[in-house]
Amino acid sequence: MISIHRHMLFILLTAFFLVWMVAVGFTTWNTRHRIEQVLDAQLVQGANFLWLRVKDARDRGEDALAEVIKDTERTFSRIESFTFQVWDGRSLILKSANAPNERMSSRPGTGEGTMNGGSWRYYYRVDAFDGFDVIIGVEDDFSGDVVKAVAIRYTWPMLLAMPFVGLAIFYGVTRGLAPLRELATQITERSPYQMSPIDAAKVPQEVEGIVMSLNNLLARLEEAIEGERRFTANASHELRTPLAAIHVQCQVALRATDSEERDRALQQISQSVDRATRMVAQLLTLARLDPDTVESILKPINLRRLLEEEVAEVSPSALEKKIDIGLECPDDVTISADSESLFILARNLLDNAIRYTPEGGGVTTVVEQGDDEVRLSVTDTGPGIAPEERDKVLDRFYRIVGSASSGAGLGLSIVNRIVEMHGARLELSDNGPHGLKVTVIFPREHSTVST
C-alpha cells in the first residue's frame, strides 16, 4: 500500500536536494566565470605593467634595460603559478624562470594552453609600433583552487543544515497530513449503522471532494437500507396475512362437523397458500434483479417469439375468466435485453391485466416499431388506474384502496425495476373508456429489426 506520508517526504527531500545541487553547480560556475574575468583583467594589467617597465628602461639605455630585466626575473622567480615572456621582435629578452624559450601563445588576446603538463591561461599583448610583445599567464589550477574554496564555503553550511531542513519537512508533512489521519480515525470509529454525513468543517480543501463523495455514498446507503427495512416490514406484514388465514382455516377444518364445512376451509387454505406462494415468488424475483448482472448478459431477443410463449402460458387463466387475449407483433422485431428479465416483465404485465379484467373482457399485447424506439403495450378492459395513483402503484406493496384483487402490490414494481435496468421507460395511460394501457418503451440502441 502506498504511503502518502513517505511519498511526500521522498518528493520534497529529493526536490530540496536537487535544487541544492543546482544552486551549488550554478554558484560554482558563476564563481569560476567571475574569477576568470578577474584573472583576465589582472593578466591585462600585468602585461601592460611589464610593457611599460621594459619600454621605459629601453628608452633610458641598455644599462637600465639590463637592470630592469634582472630585477623582474628576481621578483617573479618564486611565483610558480605565474609566468611571462617579453619578446623584441623574434628575440626573447625577458622571461620568468618557469617559462619556455618558445612563444607560449601565438594568438593575441586571452586564451588557454598547456605548459609543463599543466593548464594555463594566457594574455598576449602585441605592440607593432614599439616592437615589444608581452605574453603573461597564470596556472589554471589556481582559479580551480579558488573555485573549490568558494564551493566548499557555500556547501558545508548547506550540508550541516540538511538534517534540520529534513526535520522541518518531516514535521510540516506530518502536520499537513494530520487532518487525513483524523478523517481516517473518524471513519474507522464509526458504527456500521451510522450513516450520518462526515463532518467536513476541518477537512482540507484537497480532500473535500472525497468527503463529499463519501457523504453522498452514505446518503444513498442510508436510503437503500431504509428501503430494505420498509421492504422487509411490508413483506413480513403481507406474509403474515395469508399465514394467519391458513392458521384460522386449519382450526376451522379441524373443528368442522361436516364435510362441506371442512371442504370450504380447505379451499380457503389452498387460496391462502397460493397467495403466499405468489408473493414469495415475486419477492425472490425482486431480490434477483441485479442491474450489473442484467447489463452484462444483454443479448438480442426476438420479441414476438417471447410474447407468444408468455401468451400461451397465461391463456388458461384467461380462459377461466372468458377473457379474449390477443397479440399484435411484427415477425422480426428484436431488442437487446436479458431474456429472463424480459420473460418476468411480460408475465407480470399479462398477469396483472388478466387479474384486473372482469369476465368476458379483453387483454391485448401490441408491439410497434418507431424510428428510434420499440413500444410494447399491454391493454385491458378492467377498472383502470386513476392518474393520481399511477406513480404510487409502482411502489412495492402499494395496492389501490377498494381493489378487489388479492395481489401483493409487487407486479408493477417488478416491471418498473426491469424497465429501469434496461434503460427503457414505463408509461401508464387510459385504454378508452375502461381499462389500463401499460407501455414499455425501449430506446433505439436496445432494439433492431431483422431484414
The more confident residue out of 6 and 373 is 373
Are residues 26 and 113 both part of a single domain? yes
Q: And the C-alpha cell for 182?
A: 483524523
pLDDT of residue 450: 38
Number of domains in the chain: 3
* Percent of the chain whose pLDDT exceeds 90: 5
Please state the pTM of the whole predicted model: 0.47
End of a domain among 237, 263, 285?
Answer: 285
Say which CATH number the domain at 404 has. Answer: 3.30.565.10
Considering the domain boundaries, does residue 186 fall inside one? no
280-316 pLDDT, tens digit per residue, is: 776 676 666 555 555 556 788 888 999 998 888 888 8
pLDDT tier for residue 130 given thresholds of 50, 70 and 90 = low
Considering the domain boundaries, does residue 47 fall inside one? yes
pLDDT tier for residue 241 given thresholds of 50, 70 and 90 = low
**Residue ranges making up the domain that contains 368:** 294-449
Sign of torsion, CA 291 294 300 302?
A: negative
* Long-range contacts from 56-65, C-beta under 8 angstroms, 24+ separation: 65/93
Are residues 404 and 319 both part of a single domain? yes
Are residues 8 and 107 both part of a single domain? yes
Are residues 281 and 298 both part of a single domain? no
Are residues 125 and 221 both part of a single domain? no
How many other C-beta atoms are found inside a 10 Å radius of the C-beta of residue 432? 9
356-366 pLDDT, tens digit per residue, is: 888 899 999 99
End of a domain among 247, 263, 285?
Answer: 285
Phi, psi of 325 (to 5 degrees): -115, 130
181-231 pLDDT, tens digit per residue, is: 777 787 887 777 777 887 777 777 777 788 888 888 888 888 777 767 766
Are residues 335 and 265 both part of a single domain? no
Are residues 235 and 378 both part of a single domain? no
For the chain, the straight-line distance linking the first and the last C-alpha, in angstroms and rounded, comes to 55
Instruction: Tell me the DSSP string of 38-99.
Output: HHHHHHHHHHHHHHHHHHHHHHH-HHHHHHHHHHHHHHHTT-TTEEEEEEETTEEEEE-TT-
Are residues 68 and 121 both part of a single domain? yes
Sheet harboring 333-337: ordered strands across?
299-302, 333-337, 447-449
